[in-house]
Amino acid sequence: MKNPNAEELLQGLLARDPRYTAGAYTFVRNGLDYTVRRLEKPRHVSGQELLGGLREFALNEFGPMTKTILNGWGIERTEDIGEIVFNMVEAGLLGKTENDSRADFAAGYDFDEAFCKPFRPAARRADS
């Protein structure tokens, strides 16, 4: 029996949890790589660090379309990111420590504040 490759594992994830698209999993994987590269030296990244890195990565990649793109992939809140991460852990695509949990991603940030507010005109930003 051959070992499944990443594409086969991803297809299994999509079949088991249809809430998220392939784009969502690719985004989290690429955002994790981006976050690790931003560290002084490679190491395990906490859930909160990953959320911060994904926010920066998404804004750099998608600008004012970030929230729309993430929502299109099924990512509407930081808890969705945690679900994706742990789906990937359970499939063997990512590792975790005994201290990591889905709760690490709870209420990380509001998507409107994180992804829309930076692009509002200055007068509207002050009012929000």
pLDDT of residue 5: 85
pLDDT of residue 2: 66
Q: List, for the chain, all residue ranges whose pLDDT scores fall below the cut of 50.
A: none
User: Rounded to an integer, what distance in angstroms lies between the CA atom of residue 106 and that of residue 86?
Assistant: 13
Nearest Cα neighbor of 43 from 6, 97, 86 is: 97
The reply to whether the predicted model has a pTM over 0.85 is: yes
Residue 108 burial (CB count, 10 A): 20
pLDDT of residue 119: 94
